[in-house]
Structure 1
Amino acid sequence: MTRIRRVVTSIPRNLGLAYQGLRTWGPRRVAVAAGVALAFGLLLGLATVLIPNPVFTREIPPVWWNYPVWIATSVLSGMLVATYVRQDVGGAASPSLGAGDFGDDDDNTPEARRSSRLGFVGAFLAWFAVGCPVCNKLALLALGYSGAITWFAPVQPFLAVIALVLTAVALVVRLRGQVACVLPTPRKPVAAR
């Protein structure tokens, strides 16, 4: 119970630190965030036929909440990817992104790996959430056509909420880490025998 209380009481502080991290962004990160959000939005929108196209089909029309979830997931994913781009040096953006421009030295920490996984799972769940319930081959194989409509379609809004929460948490963790360095707790000295 105390752990839950600690997590809940730390939310305002973490959001404040994430806001401070976001304020440090330069034009380079903003451009990457916008570009990735647009690319991810197009990919997700075309594959789930939220953007009508001749390549993919959708047997059941989208519901009203598919569009806000699609847009919010795209924006959050774009911002999350932008946190992996190095900051502008001296306030000026580099002319192009080179091989060493992605990732910081601290991206190999357990917290960074965990936030990467959260972001990936969030984007993956968003695809399941906004997609056609009977066009999803996994749901169709597991549940059949009527099962996909009866069992999978009602679960999709919950998948959407989980996807947005996971992606938002990953983004907050990454942004918070840009301004607040989490130091490891020192080990207790071993008593001499």
Structure 2
Amino acid sequence: MTRWTYRQWLVAAGGFLGALILLGVPTVLLPNSLFTREIEPTWWSYPVWGVTAVLCGLLAATYVRNGNLPARTEEARSVTGVVLTWFAIGCPVCNKLVLLALGTSGALAWFAPLQPLLAVAGVVLLSIAVRTRLKRTRACPLPSPQNG
């Protein structure tokens, strides 16, 4: 990352802000009038939200330089990581899928205790995806453009 260009850092910042908004609005960690939340967020929802946004920004920046499409495993880790985090920081009784599957009491009794584990799994998967991308860019750097 020490060799990243201004453009890569700009994409990282944009990815960070985009992830903050895309995760924060529907989970109401970012107060808004579009969505409501029945249960207040847990204390750990905010740090998980922030770490996920940072990892999403860094991951986005790794694709700027060479424009290569992600490998299937990286793509799967990234998407799975974001989805797990979204489930983790969201309101357990506001999620329609969880309510349909478990009902309100099941969401509180079964799903809510699993949310911290989902958060850890999501952050770990995103971290692995970022680490893999950074290793790959170090192992196969592109030649610098020649002036002239």
Q: TM-score, normalised by structure 1?
A: 0.70
Equivalent residue number for residue 122 of structure 2: 163
Whole-angstrom distance in 2 between the partners of 1:55 and 1:115 = 32
Q: Which amino acid aligns with 1:80?
A: L
Once the two structures are superposed, residues 94-118 of structure 1 have per-residue CA deviations (whole angstroms, 9 ceiling, x without a partner) of xxxxxxxxx23xx46xxx2211110
Q: Which amino acid aligns with 1:122?
A: G
Segments of structure 1 that go 5 or more residues without pairing to the other structure are: 1-21, 88-102, 182-193
Equivalent residue number for residue 27 of structure 2: 48
Equivalent residue number for residue 16 of structure 2: 37
% of aligned pairs identical? 55
Q: CA deviation at 1:24?
A: 1.8
Whole-angstrom distance in 1 between the partners of 2:125 and 2:101 = 25
Whole-angstrom distance in 1 between the partners of 2:2 and 2:97 = 41
Q: Which amino acid aligns with 1:167?
A: L
Structure of greater Rg: 1
Matches within 5 A, 1:11-90: 22-86=1-65
Greater relative contact order (Cα < 8 A, sep 6+): 1
Segments of structure 2 that go 5 or more residues without pairing to the other structure are: 141-148
- Give the paired residue count: 140
3-state SS of paired residue (1:23): coil
Whole-angstrom distance in 2 between the partners of 1:138 and 1:116 = 23
Equivalent residue number for residue 120 of structure 1: 79
Q: TM-score, normalised by structure 2?
A: 0.91
